[in-house]
């Protein structure tokens, strides 16, 4: 079995694959610092709680945008699972060619999402990840990662409202019944969610139209670009948008599996 781990700024997203099938998933909080032994005990307990023996984990793949956790985590995989993890980074085969100005600046999470979207849905594809930050990445039919946009995540915007305005409360992020809000909570929800939907639709249309106009997307129409969303709040945006956005909650884990397959 394969243990796939994606380390984001907020959470570890983890999945166990038996062949091509995801048999279980779980999450850990990123911001708590742990030793290699703590990570090892956590992961052993989590997989064994799902009915999987630690000896059944034969390989590990990790993508990370949080360098500080990597030393302890990698050591925990070696000590507790007897596996030297495959780390997504320079020299790892992905099937995606990054043609931006500085390819090394593209985060591993974005590469993994791009791989999954291209392998599953084909190209051209525009993949959106609604996590701590919201990212928009455009991949051509030839598998070229040509552009990416980064904006504050919806959660960051919600926290900024609460922290910077003394009378605004902490709220649940959800789409209200109407944009015509009549009280504070639904007013904030409307601004955050409808604002994110509007931002998404504008950025998506602008990225695609400019890529076509400049010849970076060739021999395609805007309607032929597949739109895929993932991340914790991606479903709200996908369901609320007028664009034909597909929501795939397992996109990142599937991207890790595809990268593992190309390298092992």
Name the residues annotated as catalytic: 109
Residue partners of 17: CB distance under 8 A and separation at least 6: 1, 2, 4, 23, 257
Beta-carbon contacts of residue 176 (< 8 Å; ≥ 6 apart) = 186, 189, 190, 193
Dist. CA 50–CA 74, nearest whole Å: 22
The answer to whether residues 139 and 146 touch, using CB atoms and an 8 Å cutoff, is yes
Residues 6+ apart with CB under 8 A from 108: 63, 64, 65, 88, 89
Please answer whether residues 138 and 148 qualify as being in contact, where contact means their C-beta atoms are separated by less than 8 angstroms. Answer: yes
| Residue with token string 């925990």 | 76
Q: Give dist(CA 61, CA 123) in Å, integer.
A: 25
The token pair that represents 87 in the structure block: 């780390």
């Amino acid at each position: 079995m394969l243990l796939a781990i994606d380390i984001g700024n907020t959470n570890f997203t983890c999945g166990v694959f038996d062949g091509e099938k995801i048999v279980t998933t779980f999450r850990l909080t990123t911001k708590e610092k742990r030793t290699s032994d703590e990570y090892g005990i956590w992961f052993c307990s989590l997989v064994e709680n799902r009915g999987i023996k630690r000896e059944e984990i034969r390989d590990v793949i990790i993508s990370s945008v949080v360098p500080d956790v990597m030393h302890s985590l990698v050591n925990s995989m070696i000590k507790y699972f007897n596996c030297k993890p495959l780390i997504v980074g320079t020299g790892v085969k992905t099937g995606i060619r990054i043609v931006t100005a500085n390819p090394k600046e593209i985060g591993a999470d974005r590469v993994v999402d791009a791989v999954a979207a291209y392998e599953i849905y084909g190209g051209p594809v525009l993949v959106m990840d609604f996590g701590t930050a919201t990212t928009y990445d455009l991949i051509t039919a030839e598998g070229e990662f040509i552009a990416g946009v980064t904006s504050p995540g919806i959660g960051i915007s919600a926290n900024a409202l609460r922290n910077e305005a003394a009378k605004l409360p902490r709220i649940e992020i959800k789409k209200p019944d109407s944009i015509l809000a009549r009280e504070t909570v639904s007013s904030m929800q409307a601004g955050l969610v409808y604002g994110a939907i509007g931002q998404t639709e504008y950025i998506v249309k602008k990225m695609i139209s400019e890529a076509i106009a400049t010849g970076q997307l060739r021999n395609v129409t805007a309607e032929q670009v597949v739109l895929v969303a993932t991340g914790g709040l991606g479903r709200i945006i996908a369901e609320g948008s007028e664009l034909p956005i597909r929501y795939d909650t397992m996109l990142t884990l599937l991207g890790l599996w595809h990268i593992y397959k190309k390298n092992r």
